Amino acid sequence: MRIAYQGEPGAYSEAAALRLNSDAEVIPRSSFEEVFTAVSAQKVTHGIIPIENTIGGTIHRNYDLLLEHELPIVGEVKLLIQHHLIVLNGTSKDQVRRVYSHPQGLAQCDLFLRTLKSVEIVATYDTAGSAKMIKEQNLENSAAIASERAAKHFDLKVLESGIQDYKDNFTRFLLIGKEDRPLGQPDKTTIVFSVNNEAGALVKALSVFAEREIDLTKLESRPIPAKPFEYLFYADLVTHREDVQCVRALKHLSEFAASIRVLGSYPSWSQS
């Protein structure tokens, strides 16, 4: 298995890929778009993308990319995210004048960052990439928020550990593939649908699952670019799409939904 991920070595996405399959060959890419392109071009067998975090919320761009590409979701993994303040060896906390990280990393450490005085907060493309930049540019007055793995990879010092706002800070990642081959027995299905802009349309759509006792663990709306103030709805269903009740629910929904598409059925992550 060859898995593309966004970021540099030491990125949380790399750790998620290896948690899913410790024997996988992990391939870094600079953007989420390049992860999808690598899978589409079959340069890798799979791609892994973060989709939501328990502090920072949804990574909206990846929902859009799931719609733009015909790459089914075949698995998921949840990873405990522990952020660290990382500096060059010899740099002390009172020397730090800039802190670099991905916007999600900065958002997840907001309370800690507020305690720093006279420090500029700078958003970058990647947590591990921020550590790489400090190492390569020898930034003596700067720090990165990244993983312990990134600190070790770039030979940097962990100045402070566990600086995220909440101890239970998890990110859920989705595994996408060129072929629809789930990594195990599917018990979860992700769909995207739209409804006509009329009173009660969304309630009617959700009722097809409620009346069949199909649990929804997530419902996310995203704007439709060509239709101002109209929305697509992404939903995670606790069922396999081939389950009889799910088949009936989706058929019922298709009778009045403006559009509907199954993005994948896959095994939910059950490990702690």
Mean pLDDT of the 258-262 span: 95
Mean pLDDT score across all residues of the chain: 95
pLDDT at 185 over 70: yes
Please state, in angstroms and as integers, the Cα–Cα distance from residue 3 to each residue in 20, 24, 265, following that order: 10, 7, 19
Nearest to 16 by CA among 86, 83, 80, 84: 80
Question: For residue 150, what pLDDT is reported?
Answer: 96
Active-site annotation holder among 45, 91, 127, 171: 171
Distance CA 242, CA 15 (A): 31
Tokens coding 148: 């312990």
Question: What is the side-by-side order of every strand in the sheet holding 120-123?
Answer: 120-123, 98-101, 142-146, 84-87, 157-161
Q: Could you tell me the domains of the chain?
A: 2-81+169-177 (3.40.190.10), 84-161 (3.40.190.10), 188-265 (3.30.70.260)
Mean pLDDT of 246-259: 96
What pLDDT digit, counting tens, does each position of 85-138 carry?
999 999 999 999 999 999 999 999 999 999 998 999 999 999 999 999 999 999
Rounded distance between C-alpha atoms, residue 156 and residue 134, angstroms: 9
CA terminus-to-terminus distance, the chain? 23
Q: Is 190 a catalytic residue?
A: no
Q: What is the share, in percent, of the chain residues with pLDDT greater than 70? A: 100
pLDDT over threshold 90, residue 227: no
Catalytic residue (one of 32, 173, 193, 233): 173
Is residue 171 among the annotated active site residues?
Answer: yes
Name the phi and psi angles at 13, rounded to 5: -65, -35
Q: How far is CA 158 from CA 90, 185, 255, in A?
A: 11, 40, 56
Return the percentage of the chain with pLDDT > 90, whole number: 92
Strand 73-80, strand 216-224: pairing = unpaired
Span 16-20, mean pLDDT?
96
| Average pLDDT rounded to a whole number, residues 19-45 | 96
Burial of 231 (0-12, 13-18, 19+ CB in 10 A): middle
Residue 272: per-residue pLDDT: 58
Residue 47 has pLDDT above 70, yes or no: yes
Instruction: Express each pLDDT in 145-156 by its tens digit.
Output: 999 999 999 999
